[in-house]
Amino acid sequence: MKALVYNSSPQSNRRTSPGSPHRPLVVMKFGGTSVANVERISEVARMALESQQAGNDVVLVVSAMSGETNRLLKLAHEVVAVPDTRELDAIAATGEQVSAALTALAISRHGGKGRSFLGHQVRIVTDDAFTKARIHSIEHEVLHEALAARIIPVVAGFQGVDSQNHITTLGRGGSDTTAVALAAALGADECEIYTDVDGVYTADPNICPSARQIPSLGFEEMLELAALGAKVLQSRSVEIAMKYKVPVHVRSTFSGKPGTWVIDKSRGLESHRVTGLAVDRRQTRVQLVAAENRSGLLGEVLGLLAELNMSVDMVTHSVLPHEPSRASVAFSMPTSEVHRAQTRLEQLGEEVKAQQVVLENNLAKVSLVGLGIRSDPQVSATACRVLNQEGIALVSVAAGELRVSCLVQDGQADKALNLLHDAFELGAENGDQPVEQRRVSNAGL
């Protein structure tokens, strides 16, 4: 295992005593598989101490031991089918509380000084949107005090408190957000996200055998990939990294290899055409057919969806060819949210006087992401042509600043992904050396 690379950051807002030598500050985040049992927790402690001994100040952020969050949520759902979200968060937050304290113990076991910190102890203040809260502020004085005493703070990921001191959680993958937000608040030099894969890939290697690991990509590209289904980082964490320019290094806990750097590329140092592909399955397309084509129809629909906190995408608005007083609005959303929204979607249909509300399930969104898409209008044309040639029907296509998304039948998504990966030459682009690209197998560890 190599000592951590130290990247000097000009934006550093760290508090250092006058005259004291600057020690690089690194936030290291470990996911559930990295703290799955006592042996792995011990390894995490060893890595943190190694980084400290190499001259870094180290702050750890840990997820719950893998499987623990699901076990806890299952208990809650055994009590009541639709649990109150405040209590759900109080229950779920215990997973990280335990793993943080165990990791602190493991650091002592290895001869260092570790101390666990919960959301309310740091304190990480969020809004009160239980189960998907957003961080408002981080009061990190206690962490600086710990660092000054050469203690490695182990912060429980995923959790915070709202202004009323209720425990909140940040949603699945929320520990990434805890780590990046802490790195931003502390003015850390980098945020290392340790996970069970080697980094970010051009496509999911389980689906696309020729997928390559991406050595580095821009915040905006990573944000698109995360939003479009790449599971490697929570979107919110990338937003924060982008806003505060926190260099993020996504890498494997187990392999010791360099991973993928997510960094500021806004100044156009590189210009790939397409950087990577993402697939988001279990999508439903909702069509409000032949609504009254009044002015502001689209704004009205989007406003109501935003009120419901629905994450919709691929919105289209089309006037009916032979009936200009009527228009259809369609959008995609995760199928898992449709059940919750169904009644409200039907009301929405009535409000805009739609003749029909049509739901189409079993779709998948296959997306191309890259800084180069911004300057190349041909990307979406090429994507459509490639898929059409191979007989893959496009339910809908949407192009954005940095991405092109294609809604296809779920059963055709894997084929579409591989076709696009080949068409945009992601397997061996720009003469890069092909890197070993298999996922690290958990079984082999």
Specify whether the CB–CB gap between 29 and 179 falls below 8 A: yes
Residues making contact with its own copies (CB under 8 A): 38, 41-42, 72, 75-76, 78-80, 83-84, 86-88, 90-91, 93-94, 97-98, 100-102, 104-106, 108-109, 114-116, 118, 120-121, 165-167
Q: Which two tokens stand for residue 3?
A: 């000592």
CA atoms lying within 13 Å on the CB side of residue 177: 27
Q: Which is nearer to its own copies, 121 or 335 (CB)?
A: 121
In the complex, least distance from residue 167 CB atom to its own copies, rounded to whole angstroms: 8
Q: Which is nearer to its own copies, 165 or 295 (CB)?
A: 165
Concatenating the DSSP letter of every residue in 223-289 gives HHHHHTT-TTS-HHHHHHHHHHT--EEEEETTT----EEEE--TT-S---S--EEEEEEEEEEEEEE
Q: Which is nearer to its own copies, 141 or 346 (CB)?
A: 141
Q: Which is nearer to its own copies, 93 or 241 (CB)?
A: 93
In the complex, least distance from residue 208 CB atom to its own copies, rounded to whole angstroms: 39
In the complex, least distance from residue 54 CB atom to its own copies, rounded to whole angstroms: 24
Q: Residue 339 pairs with which residues in a beta bridge?
A: none
Q: Which is nearer to its own copies, 144 or 439 (CB)?
A: 144
Q: What CA–CA distance (Å, rounded) separates 389 from 167?
A: 52
Going by their DSSP bridges, the two strands 403-409 and 356-369 should be labelled as: antiparallel
Q: Which is nearer to its own copies, 128 or 264 (CB)?
A: 128
Q: Which is nearer to its own copies, 102 or 357 (CB)?
A: 102
In the complex, least distance from residue 87 CB atom to its own copies, rounded to whole angstroms: 4
In the complex, least distance from residue 445 CB atom to its own copies, rounded to whole angstroms: 18
Q: Which two tokens stand for residue 411?
A: 């059963």
Going by their DSSP bridges, the two strands 190-195 and 248-252 should be labelled as: parallel
Q: Which is nearer to its own copies, 86 or 257 (CB)?
A: 86
In the complex, least distance from residue 102 CB atom to its own copies, rounded to whole angstroms: 5
Q: Which is nearer to its own copies, 8 or 164 (CB)?
A: 164
In the complex, least distance from residue 375 CB atom to its own copies, rounded to whole angstroms: 52
Q: Which of 147, 127, 144, 143 is nearest to 135 (CA)?
A: 127
Q: What CA–CA distance (Å, rounded) separates 167 from 322?
A: 55
Specify whether the CB–CB gap between 132 and 98 falls below 8 A: no
In the complex, least distance from residue 52 CB atom to its own copies, rounded to whole angstroms: 18
Specify whether the CB–CB gap between 135 and 58 falls below 8 A: no
Q: Exposure pattern of 195-205 as b/e (b: 16+ CB <10 Å)? A: bbbbbbbbbbb
Residue bearing tokens 């100044």:
267
Going by their DSSP bridges, the two strands 356-369 and 216-218 should be labelled as: unpaired
Q: Exposure pattern of 408-441 as b/e (b: 16+ CB <10 Å)? A: bebebbbbbbbbbbebbebbeeeeeeeeebeebe
In the complex, least distance from residue 37 CB atom to its own copies, rounded to whole angstroms: 9
Q: Residue 262 pairs with which residues in a beta bridge?
A: 217, 248
In the complex, least distance from residue 172 CB atom to its own copies, rounded to whole angstroms: 19
Q: Which is nearer to its own copies, 25 or 167 (CB)?
A: 167
